[in-house]
Amino acid sequence: MTQGHRLAALRTLWIVAILAFLYIPIISVVLASLANTRYMRFPHRIWTVDAYRDALGSFTTWQLHTISLSIALSVVLISTLLGTLGAVAFARYDWRGRGWFQRLLVLPIFFPQPVLGLALLLSFTAIGISPSWKTAVVAHLVWIVPIVTLVISVRFFGYDVAQEEAAYDLGASNLQVFREVTMPQIWPGVFSGILFGFLLSWSNLPLSVFTSGPDTPLPVWLFTRTATNYSPLVPSVAVIGTVVSAMIVIGAALLLWASSRLRSPAR
C-alpha cells in the first residue's frame, strides 16, 4: 500500500517536472517583459508594463506583425492548395513514379533548415531576385508544403475510397463527389494542414534569416535584437506575437466549430 502511494507520488512529481521543464521558459519570457532594465535579473526591482506601452506604440511592432502575417497567410494559402493536390498524387492514385515522388517530396524535411535557407538565398541571387518577404514565402513553402502534404495524405489513407464511386454511381457529378464525399472526408486533414502551415511559418527563423532580405519577420527581429540590442521591449514583442498567433489559431478553431454546428442541425 505505502509502496503504491510512493509510486503515485513519484509519478506526480515526474509529470510536474516535465511540465515545469516545458513551461518555465515560456513564463520567464513573460516575466522578463515586465522589467525596466536590459539586464536579465530576477526578481525585478521595479515591475512595469512600460515595455508593452512602447511596443504597442511603436511602428516596428506593427510592421513585424504585418510582414509575418503576410508571409504566413501566403504560405497557408499556397501550401494548402499544393498540399491537397499533392496528397491526391501521394496517397490516392497509384501511378508510375509514385514511389520516387513520395521520397523526393519528403526530402526537404530532412535538410537542415539553415542549409536550405542558404541554398535558397544563393539561388535567388544567382537568378537576380533580390530577397524580400516574397522570397521568404517561397523558402517557407519548400519546407512546409511537404509537411502539409503528409498531414493531408494521412486522411486520404483513412477512408474507404469506394464511397466516391458509390456517390458517382448514385448520380453525383465529379464536382458533387468532391463536395459531398472527398472534401468532408479530408477536411480534418486540410484543417490541420492550415494550422501547421500557419504556425510553422509564423515561428520560422532559420529560413527567414537568410531569405527575407530587408523585410524583417517577427522571429528574425527577436533574434537580432536579442543578440545586439536587448531591452524588455524584445520579450514584450515576443509575448504580443504569441498572443496574436494564439488568437488566430483559436479564432480559426471557433470558426470551424461554429460552421459545423450551423451545418449539422439544418442538415
Contact set with other proteins (CB under 8 A): 159-160, 162-163, 165-173, 176, 180-181, 184-185, 267
Cβ proximity to other proteins: between 84 and 204 the closer is: 84
Q: Report the chain's C-alpha Rg in angstroms.
A: 23
Least distance in angstroms from the C-beta of 155 to other proteins:
12
Cβ proximity to other proteins: between 174 and 224 the closer is: 174
Q: How far apart are CA 31 and CA 163, in angstroms?
A: 54
Q: Among 75, 189, 72, 74, which Cα is nearest to 142's?
A: 75
Distance of CA 64 to the CA centre of its chain: 17
Cβ proximity to other proteins: between 6 and 98 the closer is: 98
Cβ proximity to other proteins: between 41 and 267 the closer is: 267
Least distance in angstroms from the C-beta of 262 to other proteins:
16
Specify the DSSP element, H or E, that contains 157: helix 133-157
Least distance in angstroms from the C-beta of 40 to other proteins:
52
Least distance in angstroms from the C-beta of 266 to other proteins:
10
Q: How far apart are CA 99 and CA 10, in angstroms?
A: 47
Q: 158: which DSSP letter?
A: T
On whether the CB atoms of residues 197 and 76 are closer than 8 A, the answer is yes
Cβ proximity to other proteins: between 176 and 229 the closer is: 176
* DSSP string over 26-80: HHHHHHHHT-SSSS--SS-SS---HHHHHHHH-HHHHHHHHHHHHHHHHHHHHHH
Least distance in angstroms from the C-beta of 251 to other proteins:
25
Cβ proximity to other proteins: between 137 and 167 the closer is: 167
Least distance in angstroms from the C-beta of 181 to other proteins:
6
